[in-house]
Amino acid sequence: MAEHSTERQSAIGAHGIIGDMRSAALVNDKGSVDFFCWPEFDSPTIFCSLLDTPDAGIFQLAPDLPDARREQIYLPDTNVLQTRWLSEHAVVEITDLLPIGDDVDALPLLMRRVRVVSGSATFNLRCAVRHDYGRAETRAAMDEQNVTFSAADQPSIRLASDQTLRIDAQAAVAQFTLKENQTAAFMLGGIDDSRFAEGAAELCLQRTLTFWRGWIGQSNYRGRWREMVNRSALALKLLTSRRHGAILAAATFGLPETPGGERNWDYRYTWIRDASFTVYAFMRLGFVDEANHYMQWLRGRVSDCSGKPMKLNILYAIDGQQELPETELTHLSGHGGAKPVRIGNGAYDQIQLDIFGELMDAVYLVNKYGDAISHEGWRHVGEVVDQVCETWQTEDVGIWEMRGETHHFLHSRLMCWVALDRAIRLASKRSLPAPFARWDQTRQAIYTDIWDNFWDEERGHFVQYQGGTALDGSMLLMPLVRFVSAKDPRWLSTLEAIEKNLVRDGMVYRYRNEEGNIDGLAGTEGAFAACSFWYVECLARAGQVEKAHLEFEQLLRYANPLGLYAEEFDSHGRHLGNTPQALTHLALISAASFLDRKLSGEKSSWQP
């Protein structure tokens, strides 16, 4: 290990995210960019010390103020991040962003600006680009005042600065001193990027601030948790592809759901389920364009260029690629030693029947609040719903992508019912032709099947899968999708059982099976953050508003200092899994919107 590679991995929650809707980077509270895929969200990393040592790539930039207090904030109503150091001798801030301009095809540009607010400080910089997840041999070379990073079969990258750079151990390094009100700027991007021009940094910053503030200013949420809802909306927007319209599940890969364990997945892709739920959140806040853009992307997944229907997969690459074979990066030590680190996702060819329901719910909402469905679109809907009619009684792996045995999962049945229900509603609302009798007969059959085969009379609650006895956090969606009344006695009995068995201080686990290793993986995992917010909404809908309010406030305290959430919580409420997680933030938005109305005694015109 090189002598410079001494920085320890930061906790998952000790990060802010910046992005330009083509890629994203994580910046830890020590001022280091320790995760950055370039030039696309799902491209290989150039910085990957979050999953290894700094030898896997890092951009370190910090003042020599060892006793300083550190904090991170976002500039108000933006995704522009600021890391600050406060000490007796100086106050320093580093502003980080990926600029957003008019060209959606522009390569991502990492811009870092240093400013001394008061006093003076000496700074140390080390930018170690390591191509291809740290697997490629990257060479650094001086190019006049800049440093270029090159590797075989990889795009070259350039670092430019108004400070003097030099090369050490194939990294760009610098040491410089700034006094009060002095600044320094650094730009890392494509070798021919025109934004390296003198004076461009300030223009990039102002345009990016204007973009984010203009976007979030369109939100119609005016409730008591406006700051947290807006931060969640901004995080979701960061996870959308400006070029394609796809919506990512998370910005990262390989971050463990179990400390030191094997549950380390790649979430830099678009899950039909997660993205469709995100459409719900965007529509709820009034962001119709994002929902319409996603539906345009989705049309390319359900039919080819000739309009011929295609099989719907559960996840895709951002550009629509269907096959995402799973590979282990054995050279990386993992976050906290959690191995293997995986890229790709073997779930792409799984059977998960629930995706039809989430898809149809999104189609229904976009038609209700956004663009009306086209003739061709309705034809595809008919094909999807007919497929549900034919397959709803099939076993699958369920919402949690079990890698064990297949079952008849309750959630899959539930969402098949949603698919039929939303299709019938849409056809009725738009006076569209449909085989109503067949669809309604199937909808009723699924309804009866759920009540007859997934209700355990002895235990007094619904069960995870037919023939089992366990509970499942996905059951919390039953009243949220309007399958059952939130105050139905059988549902309240199920909610009580979930509280007893799956809830710990407001944090809800997906499942705790005692019937064998149902998910096919070793060890356990943390509490699932999205389920925790679904739980809050269920409480509020059941009329337990004060309890829901308290649980919600507790969950808000589990956010990191920037208001971001990963996928899961450990027993101390610390973050586990990939981050930031779209499913968590959209569930927060839904819970906050409904709970705020209940606390205010308002009725909403929003009806999913």
C-alpha–C-alpha distance, residues 13 and 531, integer Å: 19
296 vs 20, 396, 444, 580, CA distance in Å?
A: 20, 28, 31, 24
CA-CA distance, 578 to 137, in Å (whole number)?
Answer: 27
DSSP label of 317:
-
Determine the Cα–Cα distance for residues 37 and 31; give it in Å rounded to an integer.
18
Low-confidence ranges of the chain (pLDDT < 50): 1-5, 515-516, 606
Token representation of residue 426: 């849409």
Domains of the chain: 15-191 (2.70.98.50), 225-600 (1.50.10.10)
Identify the CA nearest to 353 among candidates 286, 420, 404.
Answer: 420
Give the separation between CA 207 and CA 224, rounded to whole angstroms.
29
Contact yes or no for 370/293 (Cβ under 8 A)? no
| Residue-level pLDDT at 3 | 37
**φ, ψ of residue 368 in degrees (nearest 5):** -80, -35
Look at the chain and count its residues: 608
Which pair of structure tokens corresponds to residue 123? 């700074």
DSSP helix/strand/coil, 209? helix
Q: What pLDDT does residue 477 have?
A: 98
User: Which DSSP state fits 144?
Assistant: T
- Residue 401's pLDDT is what? 83
308: CB partners within 8 A, 6+ apart: none
> Which run of H or of E encompasses 568?
strand 568-569
Six-digit token string for 83: 């890391």
Quick one: how far is CA 392 from the chain centroid?
A: 29
C-alpha closest to that of 360 among 411, 419, 304, 417: 419
Per-residue CA distances from 444 to 417, 420, 435 (Å): 8, 9, 14
CA dihedral 370, 371, 372, 376 (to 10 degrees): -140
Containing H/E element for 355? helix 355-369
- For residue 43, give the nearest of 125, 193, 153, 146 by alpha carbon: 153
Distance, CA of 424 to CA of 426 (rounded, Å)? 5
User: What is the model's pLDDT at position 603?
Assistant: 64
Note the helical H segments in 399-541. 410-430, 436-453, 477-480, 489-501, 529-541
Cα dihedral sign for 557, 248, 586, 392? Answer: negative
Stretch (H or E) spanning 385: helix 375-391
pTM, 2 dp: 0.95
d(CA 432, CA 474): 32
Contacts of 448 (CB under 8 A, 6+ apart): none
pLDDT at 520: 62
In terms of Cβ atoms closer than 10 Å to its own Cβ (0-12, 13-18, 19+), residue 120 is middle
Strand-pairing partners, residue 115, are: 93, 183
- Supply φ then ψ for residue 312, to 5 degrees: -90, 120
| Amino acid identity, position 215 | W
Closest CA to 210 of 137, 317, 102: 102
d(CA 392, CA 419): 10
Q: Taking CA 327 as the corner, what is the angle to CA 138 and CA 50, rounded to the nearest 5 degrees?
A: 55
Cα→Cα distances 311→316, 414, 588, Å? 12, 21, 32
Give pLDDT tens digits for 325-357.
999 999 999 999 999 999 999 999 888 999 999
DSSP letter (8 states) at residue 580: S
